Structure 1
């Protein structure tokens, strides 16, 4: 049996992963695991992974068509190093797509999302300062969600390292969310080539924003906090540039 799924969108959260689900699912040769929300989370959640690969395929990819390419999205796969090993053990030939966003903007979008969903009541600066303490004392019910992990999710080089250690570089495609926003047709064409299907740039049209964080009533990102984060991310962004090479433009 051919390994199914043949590709996984692995994160990062708040970086366009759900947009890719909708855009790729428009292609007649691509089938995405549905529903898009909630995600399968098979490789992320211990109790799901314990059910085994046959359960995963039967649940999310029943009766596969050999003429199609199958994929799923796991927004949290990037931040959980156990996922890299589990995916490699189960799907050694899988292709991996990661969308990365300016870590400052990604962190604030994550904060807005947490406010929207009732997981946050601090201002953004205070929430950032509390992140390490909160993560160390995280309630067991939230250990697979980490709703207050704003800064750490932007340490992309550290998060990608387990995947590059286990998979050949040609099986990993890292894209910038900003490029998706500015030229979605070109980015989608590149992804189609990566997945080995015919290009359909028109599938990017008329999708608009998918699963956005709404900012109504949320304190804005201040210039001081933005600059503080820029300085904190300067070193990690250099590490990312070194990992991904000159084709990837860091922030």
Structure 2
């Protein structure tokens, strides 16, 4: 099924644009897979892994220049003599039809990779991740789950939460619903689904499936070591400082520069290794 035509002007002439997107789901190994793909010599993967340009950032900072603020900064390492394809990994796109439509408007041939797992395991791990990032302040998962109806009405939203939708655990866990939505918009043939348990048990097989999907040759990778999706500062105050600058005053470019400085700062302070890895053991949440 082809994507519906958008009633918008023709896309601007761009020097290049991503060929594939890892759009979800959260806590399903997307960080690890993005890391492996980024090290393939023929793949240019965005830095950072999740720019969220077509979803969250467009809502917070509308009017960003696509070529300057997205392509120029997230893909400034692109070398056309070396790289055959470009990709990025914003998991927020799975839940945002406008983001998918915008991407397809700019590149009708774009491909989408979706990594999925048992929804119960995913949501439980996802909650822990939000707590670590201070998007969630309720550390008890059961209590956080019961707050979802209040939060859907705009109540009990932590001041540090980037987007209230992030706290809708039940909705985030409905990956089947959003998969079907993506299939309808983009076309089933342009979507590849990778099951998390299969990825954990045989990462090379999943890796090769993606390379075949994006039409890139095998680079011979055989080592698929665990990749940390984050490092948590011991102090919640430090974590808040390291997390991001205030969105109302930060530009997209400043935020990218901030992230580079944040990585250097994190190396100088004590941290706890995370409980979750992007590639986890089967029974770890």
TM bracket (short chain): 0.7 to 0.9
**Paired residue for 1:193?**
212
| 3-state SS, counterpart of residue 88 of structure 2 | strand
Which among 90, 95, 109 is matched to residue 79 of structure 1? Answer: 95
- Distance in 2 between residues matched to 1:191 and 1:86, nearest whole Å: 23
**More helix, by proportion:** 1
Taking structure 1 as the reference length, the TM-score comes to 0.75
User: Which region of structure 1 is more displaced relative to structure 2, 167-176 or 131-140?
Assistant: 131-140
Which among 96, 106, 114 is matched to residue 112 of structure 2? Answer: 96
Taking structure 2 as the reference length, the TM-score comes to 0.67
Instruction: Summarize deviations over 1:42-95 as a string: whole Å, max 9, x none.
Output: 111225563243232222223541542111110211122221221122221111
Give me the CA root mean square deviation.
2.5
**Paired residue for 1:46?**
58
Which among 2, 20, 30 is matched to residue 43 of structure 2? Answer: 30
**Paired residue for 1:178?**
197
Pairs aligned (count): 213
Runs of 4 or more off by more than 6 Å in structure 1? none
- Distance in 1 between residues matched to 2:132 and 2:160, nearest whole Å: 18
Q: Does 1:60 align with 2:78?
A: no
What stretches of structure 2 of length at least 5 have no aligned partner? 1-13, 233-273, 277-285
CA contact (8 A) 1:53 1:90 kept: no
| 3-state SS, counterpart of residue 78 of structure 1 | helix
| 3-state SS, counterpart of residue 202 of structure 1 | coil
**CA 43–49 in structure 1, closer or farther in 2 if over 3 Å, else same:** farther
What stretches of structure 1 of length at least 5 have no aligned partner? 217-251
| 3-state SS, counterpart of residue 76 of structure 1 | helix
- Distance in 2 between residues matched to 1:152 and 1:173, nearest whole Å: 22
- Distance in 2 between residues matched to 1:122 and 1:102, nearest whole Å: 21
Instruction: Summarize deviations over 1:223-243 as a string: whole Å, max 9, x none.
Output: xxxxxxxxxxxxxxxxxxxxx
